């Protein structure tokens, strides 16, 4: 099968399309998927660059896992003996390391059936970003109806799902993005939209129950004055140097305001919920650009530009 592989850390040019062995079902709870689409996340660019936190897991001198990709959508080609939820021919989506390839073989516990009203490319845009937003708001922030929530980076992959989910949970949503994205972000459900190039939200006197930094551009201390007495600041960008655990530990000692790092944990129950929300049109994945597998380097460059609107997806079928 063809896959985008890298054997050294560096620029997008280290990614090469090569023929590699097709994965086989070795554990009985795994599912062999013929990949139709897979998204490109910041996770992929950070691992490709070899940032120090990623090397602790992936190897200091060269990557242990040569195929990137953590989101997948495709068709089931074979199932292990313990798989009950899926059968050959099912359209599925979910979380899977190594999805920038023609085939992957994840466990059934990180997959769900695709939404009936979504194409493969849309389904591939959901898993990592939407689960991150869902778990950050629901599990870490314990969002409730009537909360005032600010989403920084509201037009990005995690951000655009966070806007929709916060609205779904009954919160009053303030979205921070650039002027060019204000219109469609408001269409997603934001009650208020702030152009970050014209206004710093931390100086406008408003306070929020929850601030979710979805793009790794703000620190807890820069958001302090905008948190209410028991407010919580959340970032999922633990790989960036300015989010050193010491900062968050010290931040959590300041009065009753809290700072949390959130990292998504793939779960089929959450994917099932997200599938239902897409089918009910409560949320919608936005895909800005599509690339072929051969254009993987260009896709990485686009994600690294920091100007992605929604998600970037590879068409692999």
Identify which has the larger pLDDT, 219 or 314: 314
> What residue spans define the domains of the chain?
2-126+285-315, 129-261
pLDDT value at residue 243: 47
User: Minimal CA–CA distance to 264: which of 74, 132, 89?
Assistant: 132
Question: Candidates 3.40.50.970, 2.40.30.10, 3.40.50.720, 3.40.640.10; correct CATH number of 129-261?
Answer: 3.40.50.720
Q: What is the CATH number of domain 2-126+285-315?
A: 3.90.180.10
Residue partners of 139: CB distance under 8 A and separation at least 6: none
At 24, is the secondary structure helix, strand, or coil? Answer: coil
Q: Specify the higher pLDDT residue, 263 or 169.
A: 169
Average model confidence (pLDDT) across the chain: 92
pLDDT tens by residue, 257-306: 677 776 788 999 999 999 999 999 999 999 999 999 999 999 999 999 87
CB-neighbour burial class of residue 222 (10 A; exposed 0-12, middle 13-18, buried 19+): middle
The confidence score (pLDDT) of residue 167 equals 98
């Amino acid at each position: 099968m063809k896959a985008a592989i890298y054997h050294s850390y560096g620029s997008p040019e280290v990614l090469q399309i090569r023929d590699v062995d097709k994965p086989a079902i070795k554990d009985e709870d795994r599912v062999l998927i013929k990949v139709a689409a897979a998204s490109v996340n910041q996770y992929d660019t950070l691992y490709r660059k070899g940032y120090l936190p990623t090397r602790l897991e992936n190897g200091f001198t060269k990557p242990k896992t040569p195929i990137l990709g953590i989101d997948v959508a495709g068709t089931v080609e074979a199932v292990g003996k313990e798989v009950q939820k899926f059968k050959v021919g099912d359209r599925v989506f979910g979380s899977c390391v190594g999805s920038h390839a023609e085939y992957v073989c994840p466990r059934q516990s990180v997959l769900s059936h695709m939404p009936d009203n979504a194409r493969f490319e849309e389904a591939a845009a959901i898993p990592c970003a939407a689960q991150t937003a869902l778990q950050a708001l629901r599990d870490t922030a314990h969002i409730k109806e009537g909360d005032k929530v600010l989403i920084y980076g509201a037009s990005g992959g995690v951000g655009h799902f966070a806007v929709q989910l916060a609205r779904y949970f009954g919160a009053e949503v303030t979205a921070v993005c650039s002027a060019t994205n204000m219109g469609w972000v408001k269409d997603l459900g934001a009650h208020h939209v702030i152009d970050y190039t014209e206004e710093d939200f931390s100086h406008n006197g408003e306070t929020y129950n929850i601030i979710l930094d979805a793009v790794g551009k703000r620190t807890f201390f820069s958001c302090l004055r905008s948190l209410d007495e028991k407010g919580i600041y959340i970032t999922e960008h633990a790989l960036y140097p300015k989010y050193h655990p010491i900062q968050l530990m010290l931040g959590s000692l300041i009065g009753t305001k809290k700072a949390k790092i959130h990292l998504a944990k793939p779960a089929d129950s959450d994917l099932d919920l997200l599938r239902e929300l897409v089918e009910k049109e409560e949320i919608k994945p936005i895909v800005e650009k599509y690339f072929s597998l051969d254009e993987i380097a260009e896709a990485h460059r686009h994600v690294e530009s920091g100007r992605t609107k929604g998600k970037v997806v590879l068409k692999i079928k």
